Structure 1
């Protein structure tokens, strides 16, 4: 059995997150974790959970494996060294992540931009301005693909750099349906993430839990507009509980969607008026991600990735070839492969470290030396 096949069965068994993380942590691979769960000694599994583990539905299995085999689709289990480091250090991280796009983008320094589904015109404009400035400065903008502030932030970030969407459905479903084209663009240029397997519909309970992933992936959360009862305030609270920075934009006292931001400011969130304030506050924290990524690459079992990381540290031939191939004009991955003779995996790892160190900028999947 393939590891991804075992992860798909485990993901559908309805096991508590803490139990599933423990299983994946304690076993050498997902296949061994599934075998241990099927034996179930001491796990107090329900009859439904045991059936899902031991006799999974064949049609659902086939559909899941078809999804996983499609280009650009990935599973990241808790045991995987590619599991994003920041999310791992958050409260109740998912045991399994489904990713459409580039899972390496989940290691990139991220800022969450969140807010009302029914923002004012000014709030929508501010979301675009902040997201464009953050993406242009090299940060990935993370949000929840909802209407309103989320949509404005994703669109503006895509025009200038990177964005990550965290959704509360399976990745074969888009909610709201009107954002399906946007979701596809994000998957092509960045990453769309869910903790739910394919076929999972939009349920109200999924969206507050989705917010903990947004907060956990991000070094900071910017709340543009939010009513007093708002999912954006849940994201802000979860970010604060995870020790991450929380920023809020003030608004008119007559604007109901500004009241949540005012409450956050009274409770200690940083009042910000410009994207530069967010960038300056978070820039020192990005270095920890670069250190984590270098450690992950040096420990990786894959030879192309390990070699590129070690050589970048010592400035050897692979690193020098890549640096020579990069110019001041944006260059696509295909051209870099042709110029350097290196694999996409090796180049992706080296480029990501360069981005984290501030030496390279990326614009719509094209790389250049930072001026």
Structure 2
């Protein structure tokens, strides 16, 4: 049995909750970590939405925070329906279980195609857009054998290695992670391939809004999802400073296995993969290298307590904002250098709830930066 196939867990959102979740994550300065903290503190997205203006004001915002309206969220839900897509919440059974484990997992993802692929254990395959013939063949071989072993193959729909991996796993199942909205796939020449994926055993997913045209800064976010969905990442032909290396390093940060295919030192497309091997990636010269390393993970329980709403909580009604003295102490403790929240709590000797709520206020006012690993810094 492949890794992570223990089953689906979670609680389905109501239509009203899904609308509120979509409004909250589409509002200004609300990222995945802020979303989670708001739900944890206020108990529901509706209560959090009501609190946003006051939180932002107390955090020192110079203008009113933009809150996504009911109409905007409804239009996006209607767009999803027109395109045959759905929104899956992080607490729902169809949310990818491995993705749920990562720091900053998106609260909602749009998905189109065979939704059961999202909960099937996955191996990611990424690499050069300008792939060699042998590199594309090797990626396809890994993808086919992974499919026979019960894994879906996750990649980014890019040219080259991504395309080879997706095509070789069309029958077994493949997940295409998009940098733009579900309705804005990139590159255009892979539109037909995307149709084959979503019309068969595969799935397309994105955390971006419908209608969102992908920009260069959106691709690292896409790479983060590839790394998060997958139990291991196979890198086939990657130049130095390539997006595939970003995916590999994110995967390592998430505790995933990283596999690298060695190549000629004379081929610039292999400089990145050879560098990964020097850093400790698993040498990969055939599918068995990948499958044997992933096999022990079949004993792991991928269940992680999801974000769920607790509508009976009175947190919003009992909301007591930090006083000015406490807020000033916390702001003074922050700097442009990222620090752990626990360090702030120890340094200030203030209650954890006061620190977390003040950070929420600063975040919603646009005065806080959040970093990987749960670190925060003050924005100047």
TM-score normalised to structure 1 length: 0.71
**Map of 1:173 onto structure 2:** 184
SS of equivalent to 1:74: strand
Tell me which residue corresponds to 1:9.
23
Worse overlay, 125-134 or 31-40: 31-40
- Following the alignment from structure 1 to structure 2, what is the Cα–Cα distance between the partners of residues 103 and 33? 29
RMSD, aligned α-carbons: 2.6
- Shift of residue 208, structure 1, vs aligned partner: 1.0
CA pair 28-226 structure 1, distance change in 2 beyond 3 A = same
Shift of 1:95: 2.5
Alignment correspondent of 2:292: 280
Worse-matched range after superposition: 198-207 or 29-38: 29-38
1:32 deviation in Å? Answer: 3.8
Q: Secondary structure at the match of 1:233?
A: helix
1:24–1:78 contact (8 Å) kept in structure 2:
no
2:100 to 88, 101, 109: 88
Task: Say if 2:181 and 2:212, in contact at 8 Å, map to a contact too.
Answer: yes
Cα distance change on mapping 1:71 and 1:167 into 2, 3 Å: closer
Partner of 1:219: 231
- Map of 1:62-77 to 2, 5 A cutoff? 62-70=74-82, 72-77=84-89
Listed as ranges, the gaps of 5+ residues in structure 1 are 300-371
CA-CA distance at 1:210 after TM superposition: 1.1
1:324-362 per-position Cα deviation (integer Å, ceiling 9, x unaligned):
xxxxxxxxxxxxxxxxxxxxxxxxxxxxxxxxxxxxxxx
In 2, the alpha carbon distance for the partners of 1:163 and 1:9 equals 30
Contact 1:212 1:238 in 2 (8 A): yes
1:157 is the counterpart of 2:160 = no
Asked if the contact 2:83/2:183 (under 8 Å) is kept, the reply is no
Q: Which runs of 4+ in 1 moved over 6 A?
A: none
Does structure 1 residue 52 correspond to structure 2 residue 67? yes
Between the aligned partners of 1:48 and 1:69, the Cα distance in structure 2 is 34
- Aligned pairs, how many? 291
Question: Relative contact order, CA 8 A, sep 6+: which one is greater?
Answer: 2
Q: Report the counterpart of residue 304 of structure 1 in structure 2.
A: none
- Counterpart in 2 of 1:292? 303
The answer for unaligned runs of 5 or more in structure 2 is 1-14, 309-380
Secondary structure at 2:147's aligned position in 1? helix
Normalising by structure 2, report the TM-score.
0.70
Structure ranking higher in helix proportion? 1
Shift of 1:251: 1.1
Matched, 1:266 2:281: no
Does 2:137 align with 1:125?
yes
Question: CA separation in 1, counterparts of 2:239 and 2:270?
Answer: 6
2:196 aligns with: 185
